[in-house]
Structure 1
Amino acid sequence: MRAWIANTDYEWYRFLSGRPDLDEVNFWRPSSGTFRALSPGGPLLFRLKAPHNKIAGLGFFVHFSVLPASLAWAAFEAKNGAASEAAMRERIEKYRRRRREEGDAGLDYKIGCIILAEPTFFPERDWIDQPRDWHPNTEVGRTQDLTAGEGRRIWHAVMDRLRGSRVSEPTPLDRFGAPVLVRPRLGQGAFRILVTDTYQRRCAVTGERTLPVLEAAHIRPYAAGGPHEVTNGLLLRSDLHTLFDRGYVTITPDYRLEVSRRIRQEFENGRDYYAFSGRKIVLPDASDAQPDPVLLDWHNHRVFRP
């Protein structure tokens, strides 16, 4: 297995290391681009830049997405490593200026979001020496084989620090010392972005693509025992999300929208919604990402008010 050792902003690390019980973080990049170094569950190690030159924690890769900065803040808030959206933007724009990406003032520019689950931040006494062959001109990061040499040394040190922590060793060593990938648990922010991207940033009912009005809805609410899983999610326009949560609309197990007669009875309106009644929703291409019919049936009988 391979890890990604990522150059990490010290202020990002310092802010997040002081926050207990984080289930996820957004390891943002100051500009859009791609990230293909890890598969879901793969470890990303936080390497603090000079003068520290140490590995100070890790998280487990969930998903990469290019998002407007405003949506990154809305999804993760302080888990972006800053106390406010303004503080996050100030830090991002510092790096963007270095890269001569001008014209940011007042714009909702896009950033790369590496979404990580179950992050752990080591106190300074537990920092780990970076690879001995680390090149000082490495700009972003590099992949590292964890099964031999420096990678094996670092991974053993990481696992020593994880044992006894709140992380239940999601990537344990087997008897021969080989790391094993395990799918990380999703947090609320990761759920929101995964559902958004799985539905290709389109409302499942209307096809609306205006990103600020699209919301990831839980079919079975998290507070009612529903998981943060894509199969428990729907991407809906904000008004439809509200109606779905309040039981005025539902999605049947055969993926058709059903609209309650109560909209007309209570509000003497709803023509636009009734026009969609009986229509099949747009589904994700991957069958294993489509809404769970069992969860839809739960919503039909426990939330929907015919």
Structure 2
Amino acid sequence: MAVIAIYLQSNGLGQQNLEFAVRTRRWGFTKWRPNYAEIEPRTLVLIGTGFSHPTAGASPRKSVDIWAQGALARIMVFRAESSIRTEGLLHWPDEVANQAVKYPFRFDVTPLRELGPVEFDALPTDLVEAFRLSALKQGGGEVVPDSSFTSALVKGTTPDTLTTPLTDWPKDAGYGTFVAPIDVEVAARQLAGGPAVEEFVLWRAAGDSSTISPVGPGEPIIMATTGSSSSHRIAVGGGLFSGRSRMTLSELWEWFGAASGARSPAELRTAYEQLVARPLNANEDPDVDTTLLHHVRFFSPDEYVDLAIDPTVFTFEQGNYFDLSNRAPEDPVLRAIITYFDPRQDPHADEVAQIVLGTIRAAARSVIPRLGQGAFRAMVSDAYGHQCALTGYRVRPVLEAAHIRAYSSGGEHRLDNGLLLRSDVHTLYDRGYISFDDVGGLMVSNQLRERFGNGDWYYDRIGMPLASPKRAVDQPHPDFLSWHRESVFLGV
């Protein structure tokens, strides 16, 4: 997993842009650097400010040994929600003031927490050096490897003395919703099947880059249909964001079935053909980009919310992000959110709005996404690069997302409780013939040989490590590995 470190000057402009980034959930750079290509959704972003040093006059131009004797007043912790892309629109206050784009290389972020003050001797050397180089390059981001410190930060296990709750950030720290398009016939059909479903998938033909705006795990997405005019949209349902995943059209049906919005594989293929305006060959199985939702509810017609969104600020083909920080209860977008969370309440009541917004703020701080069963399968497959974590096997039809701690025994649908395994390996794992130590090394029970008289492939590879996802937050949690060894493994 890559981590990007950014040092920001403590002058007025730097702090103004930092607070603006917290509100708008976006960051930008003046120049493109090759290592920015490593930034992807859920990368950890650390913005440090307020350098101090016991020796007067110390600066980033000094050697790293001298710089490392200093400290930062605070480190703002964000989660990246997109890769870095180029934008030509004015965004930052100084861009608007000067009528010139100064930070065109932008990515979406979610604010998580603040650390501070932080002595450099509490940080890994690579991270200290990254902050120094960033300061030398006037805020250019430095991409560094993950470390035990950043892994702990992602999992929320850093020392309490370092962590400041998000509630101590600016009161308007960004959190919001995404309004996404859904076909009116699909929405009506889903409602007819029952208003509440565990999962639903919004999908489109795979493209070169993601178009979803910055909502994080647990934040709401509102689904809307086209109304009577180009600016008229109707909110017809909502769900909580689980994540994004790229999969084949056949996997979309296999993993989600009717939650794909289709009633059969043939209907799903027809919907894809209509979307791309061309027929599919019989053996063609194209990729689709998906937005995965859980705890989905479709509104009854008397709950529909007329959004009447200004088309100049709304691109309905891909959906649009809406900040919820400063919206009045009567705002249509906020009314749709309240209708999703608690349809029994008066959506115009301010106290109801505050309760709902508090729920969303809490979800925005989540690092571990909550997943449905289909999303678990899709995102575990993504995390392991569509290959078996033990054998490296890449034939996707026989790969299965395995729970480390079984779902039937209290395990959750979460990425750090998942392994992508070939089907036969999955079976041996679930039945306790193999297991893994805390660092992912293979363990094999003698029962495999005693009961079946073979298993040499596994015995020859005892201690061989599992392949590991790039992101620390996705890697197998030691507690779940320990549960399997103690509760399922048949022993050596």
TM-score of the pair, normalised by structure 2: 0.55
Pairs within 5 Å for 1:219-238: 219-238=404-423
Pairs within 5 Å for 1:153-192: 153-164=331-342, 173-174=353-354, 180=361, 182=363, 183=366, 185-192=370-377
Letter in 1 for 2:305: I
Residue 321 of structure 2 corresponds to which residue in structure 1?
143
Q: How far 1:304 sits from its partner (Å)?
A: 1.3
Residue 288 of structure 2 corresponds to which residue in structure 1?
111
Residue 268 of structure 1 corresponds to which residue in structure 2?
453
**Contact 2:273-2:280 at 8 Å conserved across structures:** no
Distance 1:259 1:96, change over 3 A: same
Q: How far 1:20 sits from its partner (Å)?
A: 4.8
Larger radius of gyration: 2
By relative contact order (CA 8 Å, sep 6+), the higher-ranking structure is 1
Distance 1:207 1:163, change over 3 A: closer
Does 2:300 align with 1:123?
yes
Does 2:238 align with 1:30?
no
Distance 1:122 1:250, change over 3 A: same
Letter in 2 for 1:286: R
Distance 1:132 1:301, change over 3 A: closer
Residue 117 of structure 2 corresponds to which residue in structure 1?
none
TM-score of the pair, normalised by structure 1: 0.86
Q: Partners in 2 of 1:138 and 1:7 — Cα distance?
A: 6
Distance 1:286 1:26, change over 3 A: same
Q: How far 1:231 sits from its partner (Å)?
A: 1.5
**Contact 1:220-1:226 at 8 Å conserved across structures:** yes
Q: Partners in 2 of 1:7 and 1:175 — Cα distance?
A: 26
Residue 188 of structure 2 corresponds to which residue in structure 1?
14
Q: Partners in 1 of 2:299 and 2:238 — Cα distance?
A: 9
- What whole-Å deviation, never above 9, does each CA across 1:94-122 have from its counterpart, x for those lacking one? 2122xx4x544331111111111221211
Residue 155 of structure 2 corresponds to which residue in structure 1?
none
Give RMSD over aligned pairs.
Answer: 2.7
Distance 1:253 1:173, change over 3 A: farther
The 10-residue stretch of structure 1 (2-11 or 215-224) with the greater mean CA deviation from structure 2: 2-11
Residue 279 of structure 1 corresponds to which residue in structure 2?
464
Q: How far 1:23 sits from its partner (Å)?
A: 1.7
SS in 1 for 2:400: strand
Q: How far 1:69 sits from its partner (Å)?
A: 0.8
Letter in 1 for 2:378: I
Letter in 2 for 1:35: T
- What number of residue pairs does the alignment pair up? 298
SS in 2 for 1:23: strand
Distance 1:49 1:20, change over 3 A: closer
**Overall identity of the aligned pairs, in %:** 34
Q: How far 1:241 sits from its partner (Å)?
A: 0.6
Consecutive unaligned residues of structure 2, counting only runs of 5 or more, are 1-174, 345-351
**Contact 2:238-2:340 at 8 Å conserved across structures:** no
